[in-house]
Amino acid sequence: MLETYADVLLKAFSDHGLQPCDAINRDERYKVLRVKGMFSCANKHGQSNPWTSHHAWLKVDLHKLKVSRRWEQKCKVCKTSRAPFVLKTDFEQAVRKMMLSVLEQRLGISCKVDKALLASNEPDKQHVTGLCEKCRWGMCNCTGRGANPEGGARPESDSLSLELGSMSMWRSKWADPMGPIQQHLPTRAQRESNAIVFNGVMRALRDYDANMYVDFLEGGSRGKGTDLDCSDLDIVVFVSNFQPNRQAVRCSLQAVAKILTTSDHLELAARIDVHARSLGFKCVGVNGHRVACDLLLGGRDDEGERRNDPIVLTTMPANVASLSSPSFNHLQTRYFKGGRTQFRSLCRMAKLWVRDGTSLEQCSGASYTLELIMLQAWLEASQHERNKCARRGQRQPYQGLFQRFLRLIVDMRSEACILIDEYYNHNDVPEDIMSLRPLVLSLSNPVNNVVPGEGWIQQLSEAAETELNTLDN
């Protein structure tokens, strides 16, 4: 049976073009799977008293590609400990789900990794915590109904089940009165599809010329960890000898489109559209799920490192700076991913409010604008306000910060501007850019005003004012 386990693991890695994990990196090397296991006691009553549990546990070694541990359960009659027997089909199902976290870790893309990867969500009436080794013989509960089965902090997704209580946006007809944001997070199928498409793009380009396509980054809201179930997949491809002029960028994009079109690593749902500074296309993921993708090109500095000084963009003509800006996307991605979970939850809340709680149309730059306004609200808030969001059992923990966000939007009608001085300061921004109103500058580009337009801000301000009035009443 152990040979079968190894074969399944080897095939899973091979299907994604991955090599076994490094022996030194323990975080990636070992994974814990929750599977359906069958148990049978060796004593005389064993044949008449077998049992099945949907909470059998295996630890797999992804360096040696083997099962290194099987947690035991005790017979209810004689209390003898027995290891589980797992059918190949059940093990394959668990491994397929495990490969999502493995693939996301290898690709370096944003993820909410569940340490316990479920093979089944079926009720388990035969599971007794006092007879389960994973429950430490009754000290905890490995089903997740009590303490976290892996110990330590709970997965990020748990903190996203945000009840907004009496906030008007949740009382309106478009959402359940107590609906959590978790309902609008990407599903497992969407996450898996995104990872497969990202990996397919990377494999296609590296197989063609690994010296030309040197690095890959998941950008946009998915890269920052503020994505919803409707978010696109944004991919930045770092090209050696990157030339930020329209003709060179367009030629490079056309070359990438040709490679992706002929690659066996992707299943395109339609033809690839070549735009001035990006590619737009849709791919087929798992279970026929369609993934909308935007691909941009970026470059590295003379030493081959990712660029870290966006002030250089202020020295370029506007059209050149626009083409060079994807080279700095890793700065905003790193900043958002390094922030607190509660801040990213607030960003999701803001986008969900605009998407489903207002009549504003979706437009380019709107999502990033909302994230930056929320970032400004978060930075202006006191430490007490921020910590309140993290307290379990706190009544309406996010409402104060969300109201601060709404007031910022209303203030933007009075010539206010938002500039986060993380990678540059006010003195670095050209005067003609600083004079623009409304102004929300990109976190990693001091010459990019991300506001979709004055008309959009006007409508957003009116919606925010209406929301505030409702909350105050």
Domain boundaries, the chain: 2-145, 188-332, 340-472
Work out the percent of the chain whose per-residue pLDDT is above 90.
58
Four-CA torsion 70, 73, 74, 77, nearest 10 degrees = -130
Beta-carbon contacts of 264 under 8 Å, excluding residues fewer than 6 positions away, are none
For residues 76-91, give the mean pLDDT.
Answer: 90
Q: How confident is the model at residue 110 (pLDDT cuts 50, 70, 90)?
A: low
E strand map for 62-151: 66-70, 73-74, 81-82, 116-118
Four-CA torsion 453, 454, 456, 457, nearest 10 degrees = 120
Q: How far is CA 355 from the centre of its chain?
A: 19
Phi, psi of 292 (to 5 degrees): -85, 130
Q: Are 137 and 130 in contact (CB under 8 A)?
A: yes
* Element spanning 38, H or E: strand 30-39
At the fourth CATH level, which superfamily is domain 188-332? Beta Polymerase, domain 2 (3.30.460.10)
- Indicate if the pLDDT at residue 118 is higher than 70: no
For 281, the token pair is 């296309």
Taking alpha carbons only, the member of 191, 187, 182, 166 closest to residue 99 is 191
**Of 14-28, 305-319, 365-379, the least confident:** 14-28
* Element spanning 91, H or E: helix 88-107
Beta-carbon contacts of 290 under 8 Å, excluding residues fewer than 6 positions away, are 269, 282, 283, 284
Give the chain's mean pLDDT.
85
Cβ count near 138 (within 10 Å): 11
- 296 compared with 23, residue with greater pLDDT: 296
Cβ count near 294 (within 10 Å): 18
Q: How confident is the model at residue 3 (pLDDT cuts 50, 70, 90)?
A: low
Q: State the helix-helix crossing angle for 188-209 and 88-107, rounded to 10 degrees.
A: 60
Q: What is the pLDDT of residue 420?
A: 95
User: How big, in percent rounded to 5, are the helix, strand and coil portions of the chain?
Assistant: 45, 15, 40
Strand partners, 297: 237
pTM, rounded to two decimals: 0.84
Return the CATH class of domain 340-472: mainly alpha
pLDDT digit string, tens, across residues 143-202 = 765 433 333 333 333 333 333 433 444 444 333 323 457 778 888 889 999 999 999 999
For 50, the token pair is 């077998």
Beta-carbon contacts of 2 under 8 Å, excluding residues fewer than 6 positions away, are 66, 67
Classified as helix, coil or strand, 400 is helix
8-state DSSP, 450: -
Tell me how far apart the alpha carbons of residues 158 and 261 are, in angstroms, rounded to a whole number: 39
Taking alpha carbons only, the member of 398, 73, 367 closest to residue 231 is 367
Q: Are 329 and 238 in contact (CB under 8 A)?
A: no
Taking alpha carbons only, the member of 376, 366, 371 closest to residue 455 is 366
The CA radius of gyration of the chain, in Å to the nearest whole number, is 25
pLDDT digit string, tens, across residues 367-426 = 999 999 999 999 999 999 998 887 765 557 788 898 999 999 998 887 778 999 999 999
- 452 compared with 167, residue with greater pLDDT: 452
Beta-carbon contacts of 99 under 8 Å, excluding residues fewer than 6 positions away, are 12, 13, 16
Q: What is the pLDDT of residue 369?
A: 96
pLDDT digit string, tens, across residues 337-376 = 988 888 998 898 899 899 888 889 888 899 999 999 999 9
Strand partners, 299: none
Tell me how far apart the alpha carbons of residues 452 and 5 are, in angstroms, rounded to a whole number: 52
The half-sphere exposure of 248 on its side-chain side, counting CA atoms within 13 A, is 14
